[in-house]
Structure 1
């Protein structure tokens, strides 16, 4: 793995080189944004780690330009000084934020984790597209409603939380920023209302506006993304009945986000949108993984998980999204979040689940109970 570190203080760069001297990574440094852009134009890198407050070209400007030069880059901020506005902007051009000074162990673990994630996603075109997709498409109607609530009653946290929770991409972005090290000073937040409390209404309002600026909803008449998001909400309502109390928060978030890769597949392969919409309409969800891999050489679970991994989501959620379609993995693992999300999706779509699969998972007795709950959720919707 080849890493470019950027800072305007040579002493800091010298320290990084010393600390990583014995690593297996190829480490290069650039003193300032101008030198970094010159290096990016001449050499390929896997990861860029940049300071925020630098003269001439700041970290936000550098990472924005770096994305244009090398879209596959994993972009990390390593900074100890930045105002709230710049930090929020960094969340739209960087995948993760690390505080400076950063403990050497934390830095090594973060980079090792990224190396592992890069190795698990061998498709270069997917890496390129996903790494550059810092913000996912969000229906404009959501922005309109949220802005109306914020303008009429800035303290209506429940109303804002309800709307954001109905919008999968915006949920992902708000939670990503909430759990970044700049804003996070405690436990990992899975609940949108808690995230709003932590961030504050003004910051959430800015996130909504910035997301609207970056959003680029694919123009596809055959796929209704609002319906897809509503389905994820129903699935999240069912999945809590299948997992242990300790897993419920993570299971809800995994259910909300498990379809996120579909949006990315359409962003990466717009020319295949019509073919993909035909596959989605004509086939059961249980067959979708194999059909996607025939068309895209990957599947929406793997692509969505890669994005969430880059954004620094907890491993249990990344794995839940990555594995929820992988039936071989599900039958060879203890019943958990991935299996619960897959089954919830099948039940909400009222699709038949193979008897052999049910027997392998040892859920014959539970399935009839879950079917009744799913039917009640659908009737109440």
Structure 2
């Protein structure tokens, strides 16, 4: 394992360096002070993991990790965030290029957990059987182009106003109409009629509108009957709303999007619906969780979302030992679908006491959906 730290000495504690040294020869640690030196090293030498400080003397952390994604897409990219960043959440641009975020000061155990988890996920998605199944599909669902355009526009112009965003969405009349329909559903509008996209942006916020665009695009596929498509979309939207309530505001957007996409693997042919029951010994089809995670990886979505989709059914299989996006997606999708929640997992990560309140929130959302139907 070759790890490259990018940043000054203040980013790395003596305890951390001693810990890594004690892991033995299998872990080789390199350090450079700035982004350009890091890019030169990555260009000339395969690196397994790059860990970048919040502030670099020559480049932004997002620019560096984006360049490394181009140079070495197989390299795991970790961004360190200072306490202030951790409270307000990482910038949208950084979310698109970092696989994982670690708070400063960086604790040895947190680093080891993050690297182990990324390795595990890479092994899962590099499953030859899964690759073969997906590779036989003649036409994969297209990436959600409007959603990705919206994300990129917000990355390039963080000051984009409601008019800019509404104009982008209105360029696709079919999606715009679907977004307005969803905005006026009971669990989004709160009884207030929303008649135009600009009002939708203002009232709902960019994050919610972005998820509605994503839902409109993803569930427009023709592989399902209209009834199946509507049921799947409603389940996804309810799970998305619940996950956003479960997580703190800094992670709510990630949890919301991951829950929205949790069952996207069901849109692929030759995939097993894991909610239908355990696979028998003769069934070699991949489960919809890992198939969906693989598809999202092909689309280039952020790694926390991919990981949450992959481990949604079995969060204990993830090496991540804290309750974050994966845990919230597991709880949200299970409660909305009526599936059992892994209470042992919740006990292990210290949030089991919150489950009754989450059940109540899920029941309220399901009640709103029933009233609307």
Query: Which TM-score band (shorter chain)?
Result: 0.3 to 0.5
TM-score when normalising by structure 2 = 0.47
TM-score when normalising by structure 1 = 0.46
